[in-house]
């Protein structure tokens, strides 16, 4: 089964219209985000899926048979699709990097039929994964360096769970409860027990004892099934039994109640019993704001399990990334910049092929980004770098996607260079993104030519 039909119908109907009109010029599209739904930055993720997609993009017999049954498409167009593949190029910002509004995150240059077809897949994958990775980075930031495990499988959107778990790991999570993701992505897996395990035994102590004997090197006990403080006292009893066998109780988990007060009281119980080595793990509908509040008020919590709100990026259901035409090549090889005009300033687009330069201050922290024309000569002072790289050339993937752990480490490194004020959970200021002089001029000239087409003079290739 191919992924070719993972697109919207109008991409295919536009392709047929291009085909019928013998109109298939080279075109350049930008994927970018106009607004970030929470905070000031995005942690990019999802590129790996896009690269696999374009590398394997083909229509098989079943795909073509289905399209023929829809009675939209001509026989000649379907014949064309028999040998369809992606022959263009992709250039952009790698996974684990940070991005900001209006920056070209991915640039696609290809015959317009090819570039048009992949739009929906690009938007689906990068929008979703970047949204979840960014949410996870906020949760991890709020934890102040404490371990965060992703517990979201049961609340994730169906088969998107694997992509979401991967994105959470890029965002900084240390482990997952998702065994399938652990196997397929190499993410460390973690877990404790359910309340049903406890209630299936005649008493709580027996449940704890059997588990500790079964997993002597990794015992984490859920203590809030009946009474959290009484559960902690029983866990102390188990901890002492384990000590007699030269083993140690690793942690206990709180999954309900007033986590702030309970964590302090449970900590006190273990400390007084000489079991200060036992960690306290907390879950229960957590998010970045709740974690921040708990820690600011002195909660005695060593690690967090976060599920629903992180795996769904609550309260934001989607990232509004867009994919817009910015340049087209005419029959004479002239490059014609394209842009969308709008009465709403934020919906206007930036024309031409562009790249992003990231500037740093004397302390090594991010200072500002500059969006510039691809071939523009700019004289920056101080430390700076071009954050775009080549992904696909002549239809062939030339970028080696790093190991997932490397992407995660790169994301954490990049976030460490972002000044604290831009990481605030609420009311973070907008990170400065400027346009180069050349891009500003091209934008004004293109807008004027579109309002007065007789002024439009194509640039020689």
Q: Model confidence over 134-147: pLDDT tens digits? A: 999 999 999 999 99
Query: Do 126 and 156 belong to one domain?
Result: no
Query: Do 298 and 322 belong to one domain?
Result: no
Of 311, 334, 365, the one marking the end of a domain is 311
| pLDDT (0 to 100) of residue 459 | 52
What angle (nearest 5°) sits at the alpha carbon of residue 421, between those of residues 416 and 426? 115
Residue 371 sits in a domain of what CATH number? 3.20.140.10
Q: Of the candidates 22, 159, 121, which has an alpha carbon nearest to the alpha carbon of residue 77? A: 22
DSSP string, 137-167: HHHHHHTTT-EEEE--GGGS-GGGHHHHHHH
> Could you tell me the pLDDT band of residue 455, with boundaries at 50, 70 and 90?
very low
Which of 2-6, 65-69, 197-201, 343-347 shows the lowest mean pLDDT across its residues? 343-347
Dihedral class, residue 6 (left if φ above 0, else alpha if ψ from -120 to 50, else beta): beta
Of 261, 285, 311, the one marking the end of a domain is 311
Domain ranges, residue 172: 133-311
Q: Is the CB of residue 414 less than 8 Å from the CB of residue 96?
A: yes
Query: Would 1 be classed as within a structural domain?
Result: no
Q: What is the mean pLDDT of residues 40-53?
A: 97
Query: Would 461 be classed as within a structural domain?
Result: no
Judged on CB neighbours under 10 Å (0-12, 13-18, 19+), 62 is exposed
Query: Do 332 and 342 belong to one domain?
Result: yes
CA-to-CA separations, 302 to 170, 238, 239, 252, 282, in angstroms, rounded? 21, 20, 18, 10, 8
Distance of CA 320 to the CA centre of its chain: 13
Query: Would 59 be classed as within a structural domain?
Result: yes
Neighbours of 40 (CB within 10 A): 19
Burial 385-404 (b: 16+ CB within 10 A, else e): eebbeebbeebebebeeeeb
Query: Do 323 and 353 belong to one domain?
Result: yes
User: Could you give the number of structural domains in the chain?
Assistant: 2
Query: Do 125 and 139 belong to one domain?
Result: no
Query: Would 331 be classed as within a structural domain?
Result: yes
DSSP 423: G
The predicted-structure confidence for 163-215, as pLDDT tens digits, reads as follows: 999 999 999 999 999 999 999 999 999 998 999 999 999 999 999 999 999 99
Query: Would 460 be classed as within a structural domain?
Result: no
Query: Do 372 and 426 belong to one domain?
Result: yes
Query: Would 112 be classed as within a structural domain?
Result: yes
Query: Do 359 and 264 belong to one domain?
Result: no
Q: Tell me the sheet residues that pair with 62.
A: none
Query: Do 340 and 224 belong to one domain?
Result: no
Of 311, 345, 363, the one marking the end of a domain is 311
Q: State the Cα–Cα distance between residues 222 and 311, nearest whole angstrom.
A: 22
Query: Do 37 and 182 belong to one domain?
Result: no
Q: What is the mean pLDDT of residues 58-80?
A: 97
Query: Do 151 and 117 belong to one domain?
Result: no
Query: Would 3 be classed as within a structural domain?
Result: no
Which three-class secondary structure state does DSSP give residue 29?
Answer: strand
Query: Do 125 and 145 belong to one domain?
Result: no
Q: What is the mean pLDDT of residues 360-369?
A: 96
Classify strands 220-222 and 303-306 as parallel, antiparallel or unpaired.
unpaired
> Could you tell me the pLDDT band of residue 246, with boundaries at 50, 70 and 90?
very high
Residue 221 sits in a domain of what CATH number? 3.20.20.70
pTM of whole model > 0.85?
yes
Query: Do 303 and 331 belong to one domain?
Result: no
Query: Would 4 be classed as within a structural domain?
Result: no
């Amino acid at each position: 089964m191919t992924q070719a039909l993972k697109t919207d119908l109008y991409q295919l109907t536009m392709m047929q219209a291009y085909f019928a009109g013998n109109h298939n010029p080279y075109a350049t599209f930008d994927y970018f985000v106009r607004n970030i739904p929470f905070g000031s930055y995005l942690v990019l993720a999802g590129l790996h899926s896009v690269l696999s997609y374009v590398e394997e993009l083909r229509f098989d017999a079943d795909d073509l048979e289905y399209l023929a049954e829809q009675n939209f498409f001509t026989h000649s167009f379907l014949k064309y699709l028999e040998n369809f593949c992606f022959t263009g190029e992709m250039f952009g910002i790698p996974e684990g990097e940070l991005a900001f509004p209006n920056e070209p995150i991915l640039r696609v240059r290809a015959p317009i039929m090819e570039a048009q077809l992949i739009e929906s897949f690009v938007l689906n994958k990068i929008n979703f994964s970047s949204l979840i990775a960014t949410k996870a980075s906020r949760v991890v930031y709020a934890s102040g360096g404490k371990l965060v495990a992703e517990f979201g499988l049961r609340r994730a959107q169906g088969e998107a769970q694997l992509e979401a778990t991967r994105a959470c790991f890029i965002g900084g999570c240390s482990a997952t409860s998702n065994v399938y993701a652990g196997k397929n992505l190499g993410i460390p897996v973690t877990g404790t027990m359910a309340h049903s395990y406890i209630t299936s035994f005649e008493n709580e102590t027996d449940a704890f004892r059997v588990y500790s004997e079964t997993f002597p090197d990794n015992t984490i006990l859920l203590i809030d099934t009946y009474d959290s403080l009484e559960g902690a006292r029983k866990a102390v009893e188990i901890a002492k039994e384990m000590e007699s066998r030269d083993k140690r109780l690793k942690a206990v988990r709180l999954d309900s109640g007033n986590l702030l007060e309970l964590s302090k009281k449970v900590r006190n119980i273990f400390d007084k019993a000489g079991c200060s080595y036992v960690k306290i793990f907390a879950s229960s509908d957590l998010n970045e704001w709740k974690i921040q509040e708990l820690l600011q008020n002195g909660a005695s919590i060593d690690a967090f399990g976060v599920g629903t709100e992180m795996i769904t990026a609550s309260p934001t259901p989607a990232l509004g990334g867009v994919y817009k035409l910015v340049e087209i090549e005419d029959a004479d090889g002239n490059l014609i910049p394209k842009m969308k005009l709008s009465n709403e300033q934020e919906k206007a687009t930036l024309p031409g092929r562009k790249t992003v330069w990231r500037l740093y201050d004397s302390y090594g922290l991010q200072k500002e980004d500059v969006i510039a024309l691809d071939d523009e000569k700019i004289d920056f002072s101080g430390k700076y770098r071009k954050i775009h790289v080549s992904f696909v050339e002549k239809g062939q993937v030339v970028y080696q996607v790093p190991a997932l752990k490397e992407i995660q480490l790169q994301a954490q490194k990049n976030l460490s260079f972002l000044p604290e004020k831009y990481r605030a959970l609420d009311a973070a200021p907008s990170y400065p993104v400027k346009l180069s002089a050349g891009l500003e001029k091209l934008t004004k000239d293109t807008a004027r030519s579109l309002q007065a087409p007789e002024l439009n003079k194509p640039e020689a290739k």
